[in-house]
């Protein structure tokens, strides 16, 4: 696959990455509802290739102040579109100032490039990696071309992965205990749990569980939280009795998930929650939300390429509360 673009009558530019026949690609949704196929890179893999510059037949020469290619990692916050935050920027000078009088092929390589964050397209934020080719000119606009790649990183299995077990309730009305088999799950994992009813003095109509993704961007007055319910389904219909146990089983492999991201370059976070909701006969809702950590499982080769990053640890702001909150419907 190549990335191709035309610059009017003067020139065309084409990116060509090495070893693309053996490289996976992913389809990514764009802002306009279309999809774009990008080559997939892991961790610190080198980015090597060529730029083909073809002068049009009518172009005798292009005077320039230098030719370069850059590898850039950048975060774009959609509420602040005028500012882009670069966390990686490497430059390779391809040619000094002079004249281009014929078509040319430029080779480039970016070796051991630290790609510490994953690519991400969210509701209010985008993290992207891209190559940028530039022909710098004094009296005309620069000739520019960009080509995006997609980056994923793999993580070690957690050394400690405790189960989640909590008792919650409303005094003298409702007392339940919920238990999930783990607190950290890989993206194709299965969440297994149980809900125990220890005291039931309100008339429960049904119970449901939801998987929620929460994206947080910015800080202070520019803090934006966007929650998206990825799935929701009923796990109980009818009134429970004391001592009853309701099983929970949720397969994660059927959803488009990312790992949990925590404070990426101090710009955004992505967290996942299991939301347990009980609805009584008066349609009042009692809910309990519990954060879980998602991580990307990989082979030994993928872990080596990624630098085998450790899993993020929830901060104190993620500590669970002890009581479900009754909320009118």
pLDDT of residue 97: 92
What are the C-alpha distances in Å from 20 to residues 24, 27, 38, 85? 8, 15, 11, 29
**pTM score > 0.75 for this model?**
yes
Inter-residue contact 304 to 322 (CB < 8 Å): no
Say whether pLDDT at 300 is over 90: no
115 forms bridges with which residues in the sheet? none
CB-count burial class (<10 Å; 0-12, 13-18, 19+) for 149: buried
Poorest-pLDDT segment among 6-10, 123-127, 214-218: 6-10
Q: Determine how many CB atoms are found less than 10 A away from the CB of residue 215.
A: 20
For residues 303-320, average pLDDT:
55
For residues 124-129, average pLDDT:
94
Residues in the chain: 329
Rg, Å, the chain Cα set: 26
Inter-residue contact 113 to 71 (CB < 8 Å): yes
Instruction: Select, from the ranges 14-18, 112-116, 233-237, the one with the highest average predicted confidence (pLDDT).
Output: 14-18
Inter-residue contact 124 to 215 (CB < 8 Å): yes
Q: For the chain, what percent of residues have pLDDT higher than 70?
A: 89
pLDDT of residue 3: 52
Say whether pLDDT at 13 is over 80: yes
Say whether pLDDT at 289 is over 60: yes
Poorest-pLDDT segment among 8-22, 76-90, 313-327: 313-327
What are the C-alpha distances in Å from 23 to residues 18, 38, 95, 145, 214? 9, 10, 29, 22, 31
Q: What is the pLDDT of residues 127-164, one digit of tens each?
A: 999 999 999 988 888 889 999 999 999 988 999 999 99
For residues 184-189, average pLDDT:
96
Average pLDDT, the chain: 85
Say whether pLDDT at 83 is over 60: yes
Which tokens in the block code for residue 79?
């509420």
Band of pLDDT at residue 326, cut at 50, 70 and 90: very low
Identify which of 168, 173, 227 has the alpha carbon closest to the alpha carbon of residue 201. Answer: 173
d(CA 126, CA 119): 8
């Amino acid at each position: 696959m190549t990335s191709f673009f035309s610059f009017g009558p003067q020139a065309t530019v084409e990116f060509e990455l090495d070893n693309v026949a053996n490289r996976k690609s992913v389809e990514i949704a764009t802002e306009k509802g279309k999809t774009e196929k990008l080559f997939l890179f892991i961790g610190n893999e080198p980015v090597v290739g060529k730029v083909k510059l073809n002068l049009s037949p009518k172009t005798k020469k292009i005077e320039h102040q230098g030719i370069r290619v850059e590898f850039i990692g950048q975060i774009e916050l959609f509420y602040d579109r005028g500012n882009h935050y670069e966390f990686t920027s490497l430059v390779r000078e391809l040619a000094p100032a002079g004249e281009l009088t014929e078509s040319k092929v430029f080779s480039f390589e970016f070796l051991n490039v630290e790609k510490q964050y994953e690519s991400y397209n969210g509701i209010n934020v985008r993290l992207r990696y891209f190559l940028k080719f530039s022909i710098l000119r004094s009296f005309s606009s620069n000739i520019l071309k960009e080509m995006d790649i997609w980056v994923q990183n793999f993580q070690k299995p957690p050394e400690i992965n405790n189960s989640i077990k909590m008792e919650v309730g409303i005094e003298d009305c409702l007392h339940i205990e919920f238990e999930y088999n783990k607190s950290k799950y890989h993206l194709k994992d299965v969440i297994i749990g149980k809900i125990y009813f220890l005291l039931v003095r309100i008339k429960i109509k049904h119970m449901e569980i939801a998987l929620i993704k929460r994206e947080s961007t910015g800080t202070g007055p520019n803090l934006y939280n966007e929650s998206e319910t990825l799935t929701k389904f009923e796990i109980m219909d009818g009134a429970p009795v004391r001592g009853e146990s309701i099983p929970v089983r949720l397969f994660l492999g059927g959803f488009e998930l990312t790992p949990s991201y925590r404070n990426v370059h101090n710009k955004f976070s992505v967290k996942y929650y299991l939301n347990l909701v009980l609805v009584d006969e008066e349609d009042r809702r009692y809910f309990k939300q519990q954060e879980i950590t998602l991580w990307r499982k990989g082979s030994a080769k993928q872990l080596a390429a990624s630098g085998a990053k450790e899993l993020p640890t929830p901060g104190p702001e993620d500590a669970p509360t002890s009581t479900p909150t009754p909320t009118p419907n």
